[in-house]
Structure 1
Amino acid sequence: MTADESAPTASVEDRREEWAGPVPVPTGANTEFWAATLEGELRYQHCDECGTAQLYPRAVCTGCSAVDPPFEPSEGRGTVYSYTVCHVPGEPGFGDRTPYVVAAVDLAEGPRLLALVDCEPEAIEIGDPLEVRFWQVSDEAALPVFVPE
């Protein structure tokens, strides 16, 4: 996708009033990533030097150490690489969500992202297609949350 093309966007649901879980704090290399989430856009870094695609955002490329790899818009689609069903809340704010699903999601563009999947635990299997949605949890960030296609 070129810079001229508009990136695909997903729905952003305002969860600021009810969210009691961890809240991202945009800083440094991840600022652009979190700003895009508020617009319903999932972004990943794609190195111009070596072609490495990476997510979570970092100040250097994990493939060649180039500084500040640029961001690209993702389709917001992926497949379940692996998952776990959490029956005991691992973070504050998740107690009323148990059981909940956390999955390693292989994005269509290559990076793998660990994310919450908004579905019943019995409704997910390895290889299932997913698409991203966003839960706005602060004025500065919306969490990427995946749902089955």
Structure 2
Amino acid sequence: MTGAESGPVEDRRDSWEGPVPVPTGANSEFWAATLEGELVHQHCEECGTAQLYPRAVCTDCGAVDPPFEASSGVGEVYTYTVCHVPGEPGFGDRTPYVVAAVDLEEGPRLLALVDCDPDRVEIGMALEVTFWQVSDEAALPVFVPQ
């Protein structure tokens, strides 16, 4: 990891009622980076595959423990849905909200909340990452329009 920040961290520990990630094994380094405002992904040294979310092996070649590198935190909406019915406890007061598949500049795609007016989101929309700290161990990557 480079140590370069890719987005601000907003402390939401007192108000967050949604699911809270539990860092374990291969994803511990990912969640530690989120607390520092850094979005990281794994980049396999064997085959060059970039992957996110973290796994113990490369999803392409099976190499063990692909190393992490910093992401710019910039991407675009590949596809999205507007949720009118809360999918998880703690999301009832957020409806409607946007969940998008975000293509990062570095290649990986991840599902994430997009914090914007649901009427404004569109495929190809440029996004940048920000973080909502929801526990002492993790901050959720949340995207906002650029």
- TM-score, normalised via structure 1 length: 0.96
Alignment pair present for 1:112 and 2:140: no
* Aligned-residue RMSD, C-alpha: 0.8
Partner of 1:57: 54
Per-residue Cα deviation, 1:23-65 (whole angstroms, up to 9, x for no partner): 0000000000000000000000000000000000000000100
Q: Pick from 7, 14, 37: which aligns with 1:40?
A: 37
Q: Pick from 7, 10, 33: which aligns with 1:10?
A: 7
CA distance in 2, matches of 1:40, 1:58: 21
Counterpart secondary structure, 2:119: helix
**Structure 1 residue 91, shift from structure 2 partner:** 0.2
How many residue pairs get matched?
A: 146
Which letter does structure 2 place at the counterpart of 1:11?
P
**Structure 1 residue 9, shift from structure 2 partner:** 3.0
Counterpart secondary structure, 1:121: coil
- TM-score, normalised via structure 2 length: 0.98
Counterpart secondary structure, 2:144: strand
